[in-house]
Amino acid sequence: MEFSTINLILVNVEDNFKFHGRRRLLALELKKKGIVNKQIIKSIESVPRHLFVDPGLSEQAYVDKALPIESNQTISQPYTVAFQTQLLNPVSGEKILEIGTGSGYQTSILCFLKTDVYTIERNHNLFRSTTKLFNRLNINPVRFKYGDGYKGLIDDSPFDGILITAGSQNVPEDLLKQLKVGGRMVVPIGKKIQVMTKITRISINDFKKETFGNFKFVPMLKEKD
């Protein structure tokens, strides 16, 4: 079965009508919770989340909750993924930097939306396993780097959007510098509980900050692991 929009080809992996149906139900649930972007809803219906979790958790993959992955990390709740993506509002062809590749599910959503995805993962075990998964499913971000997300990708900047999938105690100033004028950063800011924050670069030196409620993420850490 081929998900041609993200060039995702399932080879020797299981996807079936049961999982298709669960994705449709999940998409309907997210619409009721306020996800109105039709392309994001379509991405939730199309990207097989059960392939991004341990096979033992596949029956829970389309419940709207976070699930554990390796290295004491999590795959975010589908609503959170959709909400962050909707705040970022990526447009086809834009350069998007993702900080915290994790399982690769959010990366795949961004690829589905036909953005040029640059993504960084600091945990080497996750980097290796997600690299294998991307190869297996033919998911091709422009760049997938093992490195310190706080540093971003200065050589590839500026970016139209930066999406941070871990909780940062403060606004990552080095990443703000990598935004284009008009670019947006979506980042959860705080310690135990984070406030979802959207920062728009409105000029070389000026930024607009908006907040969108409380969430809970694993912490954003410096340096490689």
Active site residues: 76
Please, what's the largest Cα pairwise distance for the chain?
51
One-letter amino acid at 222 equals K
H or E segment to which residue 136 belongs: helix 124-137
* CA dist 184 → 55, 132, 158, 176, 202 (Å): 35, 30, 11, 9, 9
Peptide bond into 158 cis (omega under 30): yes
Is the Cβ–Cβ distance between 130 and 139 less than 8 Å?
Answer: no
* Residue in this structure with the two tokens 């030196």, named with its chain if needed: 205
- Helices first, then strands: H and E counts in the chain: 6, 11
Q: Do residues 66 and 57 touch, judged by C-beta distance below 8 A?
A: no
Please name the amino acid found at residue 200.
T
